[in-house]
Amino acid sequence: MRGLAKKSLKKLAAEYHLEEYDEKMQKAILLQLKRRNRQRRLLTLLFTVLAVGSLGYFAGYYYLADRSGSQFEELAELKERPPITPFRINKTAEKEVPDILDEYKNLYNKNKSLIGWLKIDDTNINYPVMQSKDSEYYLTHNFNQEYDRNGSIFMDPECDVLRPSTNLILYGHHMRSGNMFGDLDQYESREYMKKHATIQFDTLYEKGTWEVMYVFRDRLRQDTEITFKYYQFIEANSAEEFASNMNAMAEMSLYDTGVKAAYGDQLLTLSTCDSREEDGRFVVVAKRVK
């Protein structure tokens, strides 16, 4: 009892008016107070540990975000340098591969999974785009093939930039830091879209300018659901199929951008998670204009 908040029995007795009780009751009350004091100290310690742990988590989170940002700045600088010789490219027997643009040769030499580069002016989006047969690899790995919770922007493995596919679908995490596609949902605002209506997406082989056409929210659907699934729209085999898909996205779009597409046009879809509902997705679709 002498350790109870370093207070003397006399002070405790005065504070809690223990003189009104007999000696046995005083001891019982003091014992109970000691137990409560110990519980308070344990709770204080627990909350302190939780607070320190939370601070450590957020410090680590933003450290990784800053590290990732620095890495992408280095990659963007490497893109601007003259190609390092000799340059090597993987040729395939199935298809003739065109020459890679000079600005992507250095990057391609570092990682053969590079398929292009995505940039939207005045936003955080300025990233290499990867493509792997493993559709989940770049969810958790960066350009240097290191584990990274930011992951990378990557193209659906079913898309083909050489053929090319009717629709090229790019995925990226919705990071709180704003990295990857963390700010993509700002396209919910028509005013924001007007200021960022143009997207630059280059493949390894040619430059491309795209104009935002649709902005909508959706979710992953059950395989048994008979409905339009934007993430399965990669190839349109007829004008009728293309028109049907365009109508489905136009109906879901949050607003009318005034941009229209016809069969034969090429599309670019940017997709990220949306926390508004389970398995939610936020999607921006653009049409190639150059």
Q: Could you give the residue range(s) of every CATH 2.40.260.10 domain in the chain?
A: 113-288
Mean pLDDT of 169-189: 96
The CATH class of 113-288 is mainly beta
Q: How many CB atoms lie within 10 A of CB 161?
A: 19
CA atoms within 13 A on the CB side of 247: 7
Which tops the pLDDT comparison, 42 or 202?
202
Could you write out the DSSP letters of every residue in the chain? -TTGGG--HHHHHHHTTGGGS-HHHHHHHHHHHHHHHHHHHHHHHHHHHHHHHHHHHHHHHHHHHHHHHHHHHHHHHHHHSPPPSSP-----SSSPPPPPPHHHHHHHHH-TTEEEEEE-TTSS-EEEEE--SSTTGGGSB-TTS-B-TT--EEE-TT--TTTT-SEEEEE--B-TTSTBTTTGGGGGSHHHHHHT-EEEEEESS---EEEEEEEEEEEPPPTT--S--GGG-----SHHHHHHHHHHHHHH-SS--S----BTB-EEEEEEEETTSTTEEEEEEEEE--
pLDDT digits (tens, 9 = 90+) for 10-67: 565 566 565 666 666 666 666 766 677 677 777 777 666 665 555 554 455 455 555 5
pLDDT at 63: 53
Q: What is the spatial distance between Cα 203 and Cα 121, in angstroms, rounded to a whole number?
A: 17
Which tops the pLDDT comparison, 3 or 218?
218
pLDDT at 22: 65
Q: Which two tokens stand for residue 149?
A: 């919770």
pLDDT digits (tens, 9 = 90+) for 253-263: 999 999 999 99
Please state whether the predicted TM-score (pTM) of the whole model is above 0.85: no
Q: What is the spatial distance between Cα 154 and Cα 52, in angstroms, rounded to a whole number?
A: 35
pLDDT at 53: 54
Spatial contact of 180 and 153, defined as CB atoms under 8 Å apart: yes
Statement: residue 279 has pLDDT above 90: yes
Query: Which single residue is written with the structure tokens 């997207």?
Result: 199
